[in-house]
Structure formats: C-alpha cells, structure tokens
Amino acid sequence: MAPAQRAFIFDMDGTIVDNMAFHTKSWITFFERRGHALDPDEFFRSTAGRQGHEIMRTYLGAHITKEESAALDAEKESLYRELYAPHRATVTGFDRLIAAAKADGVALAVGTAAPTDNVVFTLDGLDLRRHFDAIVGAADVARGKPNPDVFLLAAERCGAAPEHCIVFEDAPLGVEAARRAGMRAVVLTTTLPAEAFAEYDNVICVARDFSELDVEQLFATAAD
C-alpha cells in the first residue's frame, strides 16, 4: 500500500511573511477615518484569520451590503499593501523548510483569509506560487477562520487527509480552525507569545521562525 500523502498547509499573513503589524496598522487607520478608536492588540486577537467582509460587518454593522463591503475591503487592503511593500520578505527559514518538505514528498499548500489581490501581492511578489500544490484564499470559501473551510479545501486539493496535514499559524483563530479541521498545528510567535496558544491541544510545536523546525520531527510529533 502506498504511503498516505502528507501535507504542510501554511497560513500566509503573519506566517509565511511577518506582516501582521502592517495589517493591524492599516485596519486601525481605516477605522479611525470612520470614528472608531480600537486597541491594536485586542483587535488582532479577535480578528486575525477572519475575512475582510466579516470584520467590516462586526465593526460597521450587519447592514453593510456585499458591494459596500467590497469597496471598503479594497480601500483597506490598498492601504496595507502601500505600508508593507517596502518590507516584503519571507520569515527566516521558510525557504529551507519548504525545500526539505518538497524533497520528502510533502505536499505544500496555502490556506489564508487574504483576498486575491493580497495573495498575488505576497506570493507572486516573492515568487513563491511555484512551490505550492494548492492555494486557497478568501475567494474560495464562504467562511473565514475559526471555521475550518480554508484548511479542509487546501487538504482536499493536495489529496491529503486532515490527519496527515500540519498547519502553520500565527493566530489563535487560525489554530482553532486547524483544530476544527482535525489537523495538528505549529505556532510561529511572530505576532503573539506562546502563552496565547496554551489552551489549544492540537499545537505540536511553538517556534520563533522556520529555522527551528525539522520536517520529519514534526510529523513524528504529530503522530504521537
């Protein structure tokens, strides 16, 4: 019997690239223009991984139409790309880890709440798209994290069962989405400390960046 397909599924913002401070800054600026004063840390904890239209409806009202939300999303994301463009880079060790995973036959996927323009901005801007077997973004699923939709679709497109997938995340809502998908998770502390993930029993490893990680050791730990 052939061995089961294994997969790594990467969140994008805050995981492949260390950009969440720029996302948060753009959101804070966006809402300040509309008279909302928000605490950056609390905002991140409660929204990271959710889709833009979900965040808009939470803070601006459920009455917002799909068309209005799309226009607001475009404004906010344009502000984010302007802020982050000069700093765009992968997190330390990412290139080495995915090279090792590919050599080991591990499928690679992206599971992100980002809109299409931001996926293009990041993955194509850094010439990363060629490495992935599947890329799933906000346009591909109806619900953002903590719902498991984005990770389940990524696994399906890779031909991997959830129990053979490891998710890489930087946000609690993303780790919860992995848990609901039946997947183990690796946490990168690019944005929050390890303590923020203490309640999640699907976390198999916490690391500062990808340089601390080993492909076979991760799967061995996930199997325990």
Residues 222 and 214 sit within 8 Å (Cβ to Cβ): no
Lookup: tokens for 20? 């969440």
Q: pLDDT grade, residue 2 (50/70/90)?
A: low
pTM, to two decimals: 0.88
Is 78's pLDDT higher than 60? yes
pLDDT of residue 122: 97
- Percent pLDDT > 70 in the chain is 99
Q: How confident is the model at residue 214 (pLDDT cuts 50, 70, 90)?
A: very high
Rounded to 5°, the CA angle 146-151-157 comes to 160
pLDDT at residue 138 tops 60: yes
Residue 62: predicted pLDDT? 83
State the pLDDT at residue 93. 98
Query: For residue 205, what pLDDT is reported?
Result: 96
Residues of the chain with pLDDT > 90: what percent? 71
Dist CA 155 CA 222 (whole Å): 16
What b/e readout covers 139-176, taking b as 16+ CB neighbours within 10 angstroms?
Answer: ebbeebbbbbbbbbbbbebbebebebbbbbbbbbbbbb
CB atoms within 10 A of CB 60: 15
Residues 112, 91: Cα–Cα separation, whole Å: 16
All structural domains of the chain, each given as residue ranges with its CATH number in brackets, are 7-18+89-223 (3.40.50.1000), 20-86 (1.10.150.240)
pLDDT band at 37 (very low <50, low <70, confident <90, very high): confident
- Provide the greatest CA pair distance for the chain: 61
Report how far apart the first and last C-alpha atoms of the chain are (Å, whole number). Answer: 22
In this predicted structure, which of 11-20, 57-66, 127-136, 170-179 has the lowest mean pLDDT?
57-66
Q: Do the Cβ atoms of 169 and 16 come closer than 8 Å? A: no
How many secondary structure helices (H) and strands (E) does the chain include? 9, 6
